[in-house]
Amino acid sequence: MSLAVKRRDPAALVLLAGPVLLCALAIIVPLVLTLVVSFWERKMIGMQPGFTLTSYGLFFEGARFSVLRRSFFVAISSTLIMLLIAYAVAYLITFRLKPSRTRIFLFLLSVPFLVNYVIRTFAWAYLLGRTGPVNQFLLDLGVINQPLDWLLFSDFAVYLGLIAAYMPFMVYPIWLSLSAIDKRLIEASWMLGEAPLQTFLRVVLPLSLPGVFAAAIFGFVGAFGEVAVSQILGGVGYQLMGNAITSSLDVLNYPMAAAMSTVVVGCMLIMLLLWLRFFDLRLFLGKVLGR
């Protein structure tokens, strides 16, 4: 909104001030407090205000840094897997389903979110357990002679839990981005003699990248800071950054927890800035906004 418009419509400025102030109080203030506490010093069960890099030093030199590297690997690899699945699902919804069925399919994708995701994660633990339905089904078919131990408390279980928890979130932005593509561009590519694969690589995929990057952010942020999935499906000792932060909070080491949280938020902020730098949000939401 330009300065001239603000001067002509002070009521709009007042209406905007409320949400902006609320966002500042609910989001920015806690982040700033976390950053400030990360420089404080731990004293017994409390903290002493000051400015020290002790918590950051212990974090980057200690075992917690290996948790950060592992979290990066798990988050990136699971995000790539989720992107492949989500893009295929979104593509089929956009170009293969009738509009009436699209609405139903999108609704079905949101149904699992009616149940708390911690409860859904415990349900996966039951399904993948030694006496769970999956092992029992494979035993009944004669595929295996004894229950598979690696189905639960393993990397496989964690990846499966992450995909089940966050992949549906990633379908929606990709679907929005694909739906916003002008179909005449695809038809023009076909008329110029491009094969379907070349049309996809040169037209559809580049134009859907804003949605793909948004979906990647949703998936990466969720997987990177995950707590419940790694704790329930990964078993004792399986830690991602979310578990490392809660472990520090359990022993009242608030400066360390704040330092790790600041690093995580910094990584997320870098991704958001890259998204802002290379993509226009209006392209992603163009279909919805009608622009």
Q: Phi then psi for 43, rounded to 5 degrees?
A: -130, 105
Higher pLDDT, 12 or 121: 121
Distance between CA atoms of residues 161 and 190, nearest Å: 40
Instruction: Assess whether pLDDT exceeds 70 at residue 6.
Output: no
- Residue 104 has what pLDDT? 87
- The answer to whether the beta carbons of residues 272 and 279 sit under 8 Å apart is no
pTM of the model: 0.81
- Residue 107 has what pLDDT? 86
Distance between CA atoms of residues 136 and 153, nearest Å: 18
Q: What is the pLDDT of residues 192-212, one digit of tens each?
A: 888 889 999 999 998 888 889
HSE-CB at 238 with a 13 A cutoff on CA atoms is: 20
CA distances in angstroms from 10 to 1, 14, 53, listed in the order given:
12, 6, 45
Question: Binning pLDDT at 50, 70 and 90, where does residue 259 land?
Answer: very high
Distance between CA atoms of residues 230 and 157, nearest Å: 9
Distance between CA atoms of residues 174 and 216, nearest Å: 10
The token duo for 164 is: 């089940």
Distance between CA atoms of residues 248 and 36, nearest Å: 17
Question: Binning pLDDT at 50, 70 and 90, where does residue 276 land?
Answer: confident
Question: Binning pLDDT at 50, 70 and 90, where does residue 273 land?
Answer: confident
Provide the 10 A C-beta neighbour count for residue 267.
19
Closest by CA position to 93, among listed 9, 7, 179: 179
Instruction: Assess whether pLDDT exceeds 80 at residue 130.
Output: yes
- Residue 289 has what pLDDT? 47
- Residue 291 has what pLDDT? 45
Mean pLDDT of 61-74: 88
**Which helix H or strand E contains 92, and what residues bound it?**
helix 64-95
- The answer to whether the beta carbons of residues 75 and 216 sit under 8 Å apart is no
Q: What is the pLDDT of residues 76-109, one digit of tens each?
A: 999 999 999 999 999 999 988 888 888 888 888 8
Question: Binning pLDDT at 50, 70 and 90, where does residue 280 land?
Answer: low
Provide the 10 A C-beta neighbour count for residue 76.
15
Instruction: Assess whether pLDDT exceeds 80 at residue 12.
Output: no
